Every structure is written in C-alpha cells, then in structure tokens.
C-alpha cells in the first residue's frame, strides 16, 4: 500500500479555485483555442507559432493577471512573447487584454512552468526570461516551495541564448538575498550590472508590485546574463 503512494512534487504554487468572471470565462471559451498553447512534450517553434522571422523570443513565468505582460507586448511589437501562468482568472484576463490591444505577438501556456520550461523550449532558443514577483513563500517552512532555486536557474540557463538575460524582480528582501545565493552556484550566468538594479523603464509596475509598494515594501530587480 505504502509503496503505491504517489510522491507529489513540491510545487511553487497552490491552485485555489479562484472565481472566474463571466468576461474571463467567455474570453477563454472564445479565444482559448487560438491563444493558449496546450502543454505537451513538443518543442515550440516560435517562427511557426507567430508566423514571423527574426523576432526576439521572450518568456514570462507567473504573469498573474497579465496586465504587465500585455503592456510589455504592446510596447515592444518587435518581440514575441509567451507567458506561463497556472491560474485561470489571470489567463482569462490576459486573453481579454490581448484582444483589447489587438496583439499578435503574445501567447499563453497554462501549466506548471517548471515542467513547461523543461519540455517545451529548445536549448538556446530564448532571448530573455522574465520572472516578476515570484511567490515569496516567506515562512521558513515554505521556503522549499520557492521557484527560484539553483536547479531551476540552471534549467532556464540551458534554454537561453548566449548573452540573453534572465530578469527577476521581488519585493521580499529575504528572497532577493536568497536569489543571489542560489545564483552564486550557477556558473552559467553573470550579473548584468550590480546585484540589485533600480527598476528599469522597460518593466512596467505589476499588480503584485503595486500592492507591495502600498504596504511600504522595497523592490529588488536582479538581472543575470547567460554566458
Ligand atoms: C506573486 S504572483 C505575481 C504575479 C505577477 N507577476 C505580478 O507581479 O503581478 C506569482 C504568480 O506566479 C504564478 N506561479 C507560481 N509558480 C508557478 C509555476 N510553477 N508555473 C506557473 N505559474 C506559477 C502564480 O500562480 C502567481 O500568479
């Protein structure tokens, strides 16, 4: 009996039954087939997916409600974006934004990013990865759920092109310091500038960040470059 017990992986998220608004549900049922890429073990061909050539391929992990994701895709039509998120309200909201802004350079994957990164992106295929405000899991006993760990940083590194960047932002000092410690054992990266940067203009404020700022939190932007 004991032997048959499935070992559940430790995930960096908890799936709550968040309420989907009617507008979000409609967005998913009307446009989900076109805009959501089903998770699979097939590698993504960016040129084919976006019917475009020589655009930069940028992945965002954990886009939340997706407002910032859509804003970035709108500001930079010269890039293609894929956003990963597990929560349906965020997926529905982002689809509505894609439609409102008439974006053709952004798609969504609704699945655990740890598996998606491993299975769906070819080695050295990404120009950048954005991870804005990953869940801090600030209680000691929950630290093990943190997405940013050396093993994951290493996996992401294999998918980045040379000189491509990984941009992480957090509003938890303890997590910021943790990220730097995890990075120190990854020989695949160097810090782009200082350990912590001032928020770059190309990163709009995110929903989660605004909440943190209202609570008086600071923000740490960390940018690694793949070497
Ligand atoms: C704290 S929120 C930040 C959301 C957004 N980036 C922002 O700044 O407003 C972190 C998000 O990451 C998502 N997330 C956490 N782990 C994930 C994983 N392994 N795969 C996909 N999404 C994940 C959560 O569902 C959540 O929406």
Q: Does 185 lie in the same domain as 94?
A: no
> What single string gives the DSSP state of each residue in 51-91?
T-SS-EEEEEE--TT-HHHHHHHHH-TTEEEEEE---HHHH
Q: Are residues 91 and 70 in the same domain?
A: yes
The pLDDT of residue 4:
56
Provide the Cα torsion 147, 151, 157, 158; round to 10°: -120
Which residue from 87, 134, 170, 207 has its CB within 8 A of the most atoms of ligand 1, so it is best to mutate? 134
Domain total of the chain? 2
Intervals of the chain under pLDDT 70:
1-5
Residues in the chain: 227
Residues 163 and 117 in one domain: no
How far apart (Å, rounded) are the C-alpha atoms in residues 63 and 86?
Answer: 9
CA–centroid distance, 151 to ligand 1, in Å, is 18
pLDDT digits (tens, 9 = 90+) for 135-158: 999 999 999 999 999 999 999 999
Structural domain harbouring 182: 125-227
- Site to substitute for ligand 1 among 17, 84, 111, 135, most atoms within 8 A of C-beta: 135
Based on the fold, state whether residues 29 and 100 are members of the same structural domain: yes
């Amino acid at each position: 009996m004991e032997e048959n017990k499935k070992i559940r992986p430790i995930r960096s998220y908890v799936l709550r039954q968040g309420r989907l608004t009617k507008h979000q549900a409609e967005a998913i049922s009307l446009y989900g087939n076109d805009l959501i890429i089903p998770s699979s073990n097939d590698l993504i061909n960016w040129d084919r997916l976006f019917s475009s050539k020589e655009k930069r391929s940028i992945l965002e992990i954990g886009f939340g409600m997706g407002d910032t994701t859509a804003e970035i895709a709108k500001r930079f039509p010269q890039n293609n974006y894929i956003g990963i998120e597990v929560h349906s309200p965020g997926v529905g909201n982002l689809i509505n934004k894609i439609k409102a802004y008439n974006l053709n350079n952004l798609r969504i994957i609704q699945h655990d990013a740890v598996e998606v990164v491993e299975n769906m992106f070819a080695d050295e295929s990404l120009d950048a990865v954005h991870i804005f405000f990953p869940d801090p899991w600030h209680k000691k006993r929950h630290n093990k759920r943190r997405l940013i760990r050396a093993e994951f940083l290493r996996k992401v590194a294999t998918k980045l092109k040379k000189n491509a960047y990984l941009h992480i932002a957090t509003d938890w000092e303890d997590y910021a310091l943790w990220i730097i410690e995890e990075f120190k054992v990854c020989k695949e990266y160097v810090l782009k500038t200082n350990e912590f940067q001032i928020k770059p203009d190309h990163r709009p404020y995110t929903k989660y960040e605004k909440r943190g700022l209202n609570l008086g939190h600071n923000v740490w932007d960390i940018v690694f470059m793949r070497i």
